[in-house]
Chain A
Amino acid sequence: SAVISQKPSRDICQRGTSLTIQCQVDSQVTMMFWYRQQPGQSLTLIATANQGSEATYESGFVIDKFPISRPNLTFSTLTVSNMSPEDSSIYLCSIGGWGGQPQHFGDGTRLSIL
C-alpha cells in the first residue's frame, strides 16, 4: 500500500499563530482527506482535497480557518490558522476510498495550543 509521510508529528504552538501540516504520498492519488480528532471526540472530516480544484469543506469548517493546498497528485497541506486552545487535536491526512476500499492514514500531527 502507499506510504504516507505527514509532518510535523507533533508541535506546541502559541495562541494566535498558524501551523501548516504537510502530507506527502509516494504515489499519485486523486482524493486526499484531512481529519481532526479533538480529545474525547470522534475522528471528524475537515475537508476533501482534490488536485486542480478547491477543497470541499464539511459543515463547521471554513477555508479561512483551515486553508488547504493540493498542488499536485502526491502532496497536500492543511494550515490551522489563528490557533486557539480549542484547536488542540490530532490532525490526520488520508488517502483511499470510502466505499469498498479502506483509507490509509498518515501518522498524524499532535498539536497543542498554549
Chain B
Amino acid sequence: DSGVTQTPKHLITATGQRVTLRCSPRSGDLSVYWYQQSLDQGLQFLIHYYNGEERAKGNILERFSAQQFPDLHSELNLSSLELGDSALYFCASSVLAHTDTQYFGPGTRLTVL
C-alpha cells in the first residue's frame, strides 16, 4: 500500500458526460501528479500540482482539468467524455518534486460507453 488513495475504483459512464476523479496524497506529500494509462498510448503524464499550484502540464486535453485543494487532495475533472477517454487514471504523490520518488495510487478505471 503506497498511502495514496483514489476514488472511485471503477467508473462507467456514457459519452458526453462529465466525471470527477479524486486523489488523496500520502501524508506530508505536497506534489500530486495525474497520469492516464491506455493500451494504445501507454502511460501519459497529464498534470502536476505542487502545494495547490499547477507546476507542469503534459498531454492533457482541454476537456480535462484538475485542481489541488488546501488540504492537498486533488481532483481530475473529465468532461464531454469520448470513447477514447476510457483508460486507467493514476494519481501519484511525492514530498516535493523533481528528484523525489513518486508513489502511485491504485488507479481509477474509467469506461465510457
| A complexed with B | no
Enumerate chain B interface residues (CB-CB to A < 8 A).
Answer: none
Enumerate chain A interface residues (CB-CB to B < 8 A).
Answer: none
